[in-house]
Structure 1
């Protein structure tokens, strides 16, 4: 999911501006300001270095769509720190946009609200057919056995990005391949105001992405096979502790990163304050931050030992952004036409090039832009060593509960409070208690 993404990185802060924004937005506002069938409201997720970057990427394409169809698209780029709760509130209030981006990990949760248009065979046919899309991307569009709740828009995976100059200054000749190597390199660099690794400690969804992978590497998961929360297993506790210990014990992450929630770790990386960052499809973001292509390198994300692969060698979640339509839009034809436009081969090349992501549309992947040093690592990761987060109806609650627990543990570490196996287990037990009881 991003943030990019990836996020697809999610949210816990409810926007106080929601009511005003929603009422002035999409046609699901019940006859508000959008009575014209020639107008759509679109909530786009923040994929670039900032909201303004996304506006510069998207607005020319929306203008192109208006010229082709006569349908004006009113754009709002929603920061990841607000997006999930903005969407959840819109699903319950009935006030929201016509079309929106969602983190692919949220698909089943949002599908369970009943607010999103199901993409059955007939709806897929309107946008050129389901077989245009890569199977792995379709795997994160909703619960198994149900019609998808969304359509893939951008595909992403995590990789390790590193600052070549900082590595050279520290005498590091190769990027780390294992967590032990990362800590060793990080300790060599973490001095004189510089730090080894960046993190977004206040971003619950980013926290989830990292500890989900670490749990896989510890042979654990956060849900049982029948979809019940299992947050306090030895492997899950060990995964969360290992991640927070990068700050608390290993001291390769700056304490200030505990407050980071919206790309600040990327900014530090681009400015040469931090040597490494684990991120989704970040190359385009570095360029927008003024970092030259020859200043950074990229390698597969870390594993305990050996090389990335399946099972304990999983090194990324299957990340990506999906595009959904609110079922109560009064301009379903226009919304469907807009999804068709955004997932066309031509637009997929333009948009995924801009964001450094991988097109989930097969016909767009042949472009050389998706066979560069950066994108090749991502494609390989998605093909061989990434695992999808559970497509369960309570996934968004999981991101909020466990992601916030990790956030609180980072705050403890930043403030000098000891992070122990017991304190981690206590936080995770509290998170599990917050999950819906069925």
Structure 2
């Protein structure tokens, strides 16, 4: 999920319910007892572009197109990732949410377990053209195995390593690192004169999870056991978190200030030539919005421990993406299904995914030559050969919060000059595991 999935921060799900602010627009428009006309829908879109205003400019013409086609007006709210999970969790308990919403694909099973989302059974899929229109990998992050999906894939993404060509050339570096040892060696050549090799966002809980999940897979860890119970303190999980934080604490290739960075701040530094590399999902549109031309940056697969990316321990990305869900208590189910059909149509998939720099999860839309450009080829190859979905378990959203916070705390310690040891990492992860729901 981006970010950009990115994806969201906040307290544990139980705390979310107690501390969340009221759902803007939820009680007066759409689901949850709305008195709106059946010709009106409310839609919570996630922030996919460089900022919320950019998303409005992209989406509003498409929503107008839908209204002209169907007579159904869509009231749009673009919700920042920092608020999105909180808002959704509150809506699932209050019954006052939108009709249609975007969710990070990693949250699918967690939100499915609330019972608030419409199940996408064969009948509902048939109303949007059928389940077989979608790429199998994208469908793998739509809910728990063995259950009808809780959402439909909307945008697909994977992680890649973006690098600044000029900074590499100035340092005499000919190619991007393919292994983490190469990353550290390359990074030390680049981290000088007030500039740094690698950007990170220690305050972005979901990004923390995405990075340590991939490193965990490379160390043979899953963070959950075969029964879906948390397993945060395994040797592999501890090694993964320590390796990531050590890029700042030990290797000195991440700036200490990155410990507090929130969503997209690392991309801003990259676009301003302050950092030479960033690990991110489909970042081209954000770079462009910040004045960086396409020929200034390159893209390569995320490094692995050794060898080349692939399945098993050489996984180098989570299956990232955005799903589209419908609240079960919508007063306009037919309109909601019609809207999902529109947003996942071949035409809209091509248009929106081109704009956002993502990959269409709709098979037919991928035939457009625009999705063959070098950056997207790396992302598509990664999704096809070396990406794995985050655990589709009910407590996944809590996992993102508590382990993401543990990584944030360790980054803060490193930034303050504190020593990050195997023992301190394990203690922080043990504390995180204690905050998970009891099985």
TM-score by length of 2: 0.97
User: Quick check: 1:160–1:277 contact (8 Å CA) kept in 2?
Assistant: yes
Does residue 428 of structure 2 align to residue 404 of structure 1? Answer: no
User: Quick check: 2:248–2:414 contact (8 Å CA) kept in 1?
Assistant: yes
User: Quick check: 2:42–2:98 contact (8 Å CA) kept in 1?
Assistant: yes
2:381 alignment partner, SS class: helix
Deviations 1:134-180 (A, max 9, x none): 11111110001100000000010000000000111111110110111
Residue 9 of structure 2 corresponds to which residue in structure 1?
11
User: Quick check: 2:217–2:313 contact (8 Å CA) kept in 1?
Assistant: yes
User: Quick check: 1:26–1:42 contact (8 Å CA) kept in 2?
Assistant: no
Deviations 1:380-421 (A, max 9, x none): 000000011111111011111111111111111111121111
User: Quick check: 1:300–1:381 contact (8 Å CA) kept in 2?
Assistant: yes
Residue 129 of structure 1 corresponds to which residue in structure 2?
130
Report the CA distance between 1:24 and its aligned residue. 5.2
With over 3 angstroms needed to count, the CA separation of the structure-2 counterparts of 1:321 and 1:355, relative to structure 1, is same
Query: In structure 2, what is the Cα distance between the partners aligned to 1:273 and 1:177?
Result: 22
Report the CA distance between 1:17 and its aligned residue. 8.0
Does residue 205 of structure 2 align to residue 204 of structure 1? Answer: yes
User: Quick check: 1:156–1:280 contact (8 Å CA) kept in 2?
Assistant: yes
Instruction: Identify unmatched segments of 5+ residues in structure 1.
Output: none
Residue 361 of structure 1 corresponds to which residue in structure 2?
362
Query: In structure 2, what is the Cα distance between the partners aligned to 1:120 and 1:24?
Result: 27
Residue 109 of structure 1 corresponds to which residue in structure 2?
110
Instruction: Identify unmatched segments of 5+ residues in structure 2.
Output: none
Query: In structure 2, what is the Cα distance between the partners aligned to 1:221 and 1:99?
Result: 32
Report the CA distance between 1:10 and its aligned residue. 2.0
Does residue 78 of structure 2 align to residue 77 of structure 1? Answer: yes
User: Quick check: 2:317–2:382 contact (8 Å CA) kept in 1?
Assistant: yes
2:22 alignment partner, SS class: helix
1:410 alignment partner, SS class: helix
Report the CA distance between 1:80 and its aligned residue. 1.0
Query: In structure 1, what is the Cα distance between the partners aligned to 2:261 and 2:56?
Result: 23
With over 3 angstroms needed to count, the CA separation of the structure-2 counterparts of 1:17 and 1:114, relative to structure 1, is closer
Deviations 1:2-25 (A, max 9, x none): 1232x2x22216698831514455
Does residue 146 of structure 2 align to residue 145 of structure 1? Answer: yes
Residue 316 of structure 1 corresponds to which residue in structure 2?
317
Deviations 1:323-355 (A, max 9, x none): 000001101111111000000000000010011
Query: In structure 1, what is the Cα distance between the partners aligned to 2:64 and 2:204?
Result: 33
1:251 alignment partner, SS class: coil
Equivalent residue runs for 1:89-108 within 5 Å: 89-108=90-109
Equivalent residue runs for 1:367-382 within 5 Å: 367-382=368-383
Query: In structure 2, what is the Cα distance between the partners aligned to 1:283 and 1:23?
Result: 33
Does residue 193 of structure 2 align to residue 192 of structure 1? Answer: yes
1:324 alignment partner, SS class: strand
Query: In structure 2, what is the Cα distance between the partners aligned to 1:112 and 1:281?
Result: 29
Query: In structure 2, what is the Cα distance between the partners aligned to 1:256 and 1:62?
Result: 40
With over 3 angstroms needed to count, the CA separation of the structure-2 counterparts of 1:382 and 1:4, relative to structure 1, is same
Equivalent residue runs for 1:275-424 within 5 Å: 275-424=276-425
Deviations 1:273-318 (A, max 9, x none): 1100000011122111111000000000010111000111110011
Query: In structure 1, what is the Cα distance between the partners aligned to 2:20 and 2:272?
Result: 32
Query: In structure 2, what is the Cα distance between the partners aligned to 1:183 and 1:216?
Result: 20
Query: In structure 1, what is the Cα distance between the partners aligned to 2:184 and 2:82?
Result: 28
With over 3 angstroms needed to count, the CA separation of the structure-2 counterparts of 1:78 and 1:287, relative to structure 1, is same
- Answer with 233-242 or 46-55: which moved more: 46-55
Residue 2 of structure 1 corresponds to which residue in structure 2?
2
With over 3 angstroms needed to count, the CA separation of the structure-2 counterparts of 1:424 and 1:25, relative to structure 1, is farther
Query: In structure 1, what is the Cα distance between the partners aligned to 2:148 and 2:23?
Result: 32
Residue 158 of structure 1 corresponds to which residue in structure 2?
159
Query: In structure 2, what is the Cα distance between the partners aligned to 1:228 and 1:26?
Result: 38
Does residue 252 of structure 2 align to residue 251 of structure 1? Answer: yes
TM-score by length of 1: 0.97
1:100 alignment partner, SS class: strand
Report the CA distance between 1:208 and its aligned residue. 0.6
**RMSD of the TM alignment (CA)?**
1.3
Query: In structure 1, what is the Cα distance between the partners aligned to 2:68 and 2:322?
Result: 26
User: Quick check: 1:26–1:329 contact (8 Å CA) kept in 2?
Assistant: no
Query: In structure 2, what is the Cα distance between the partners aligned to 1:109 and 1:20?
Result: 19
Residue 26 of structure 1 corresponds to which residue in structure 2?
29
Query: In structure 2, what is the Cα distance between the partners aligned to 1:93 and 1:417?
Result: 43
Residue 238 of structure 2 corresponds to which residue in structure 1?
237
2:228 alignment partner, SS class: coil
User: Quick check: 1:162–1:276 contact (8 Å CA) kept in 2?
Assistant: yes
